[in-house]
Chains A and B, each alone.
Chain A
């Protein structure tokens, strides 16, 4: 029974299933992003458990006088995190900066 897995990708959730135990990038509501290892579990609601997570929160402040936009990011790391699916916007492999 163990070891026999269906590797066919039929629906979008299968794509995420391929990323089990891999590092992924998750975009959440409220300008938050997570990078972490999709540890073992996710479900159809996109609830998931991530390990070694780095959370990035992006805020934009507008200067009253110059109307200049100041983009700030706050980061923190969490060992082991359950993420509730209703906050998830998208899931992707980690973004790589172009190396040529």
Chain B
């Protein structure tokens, strides 16, 4: 639940999602769910010459399980809140 809350706070920010098949998609985080499925808006593939598949796609839904990384804005979220939540989660979970 921790990261679900984290991503909910991040809605509206621009992120780059790197998938397990090496495709990287930059876009605005529109929504997220408990499985960390991600909906991105205004998407642009990072290496468009290498991956022309999604040239005309502007919005997409990404299944959480295919995500390898999400590159985040450095000033994303309140770090202290997250820190405390992480300690609690790791112990209680």
Residues of A participating in the B interface, judged by any CB pair closer than 8 Å: 2, 5-6, 13-14, 16-17, 20-21, 28, 30, 39-44, 47, 49, 51, 78-84, 86-87
B71 interface neighbour in A6, A30, A40, A81, Cβ under 8 Å: A81
- Main SS of the interface on chain A? mixed
State A39–B86 Cα separation when bound (angstroms): 10
State A43–B20 Cα separation when bound (angstroms): 20
State A16–B80 Cα separation when bound (angstroms): 18
Q: List 16 A-B contacts (CB under 8 A).
A: A14-B90, A17-B86, A20-B83, A30-B20, A39-B82, A41-B2, A41-B85, A41-B86, A42-B86, A79-B71, A80-B76, A82-B70, A83-B68, A84-B67, A84-B69, A87-B20
Residues of B participating in the A interface, judged by any CB pair closer than 8 Å: 2-3, 6, 20, 36, 64-65, 67-74, 76, 79-80, 82-87, 89-91, 93
- Please state if B91 and A14 are interface contacts (CB–CB under 8 Å): yes
Q: What B residues does A80 contact at CB under 8 A?
A: 71-74, 76
- Please state if B90 and A44 are interface contacts (CB–CB under 8 Å): yes
State A47–B91 Cα separation when bound (angstroms): 15
- Please state if B86 and A40 are interface contacts (CB–CB under 8 Å): yes
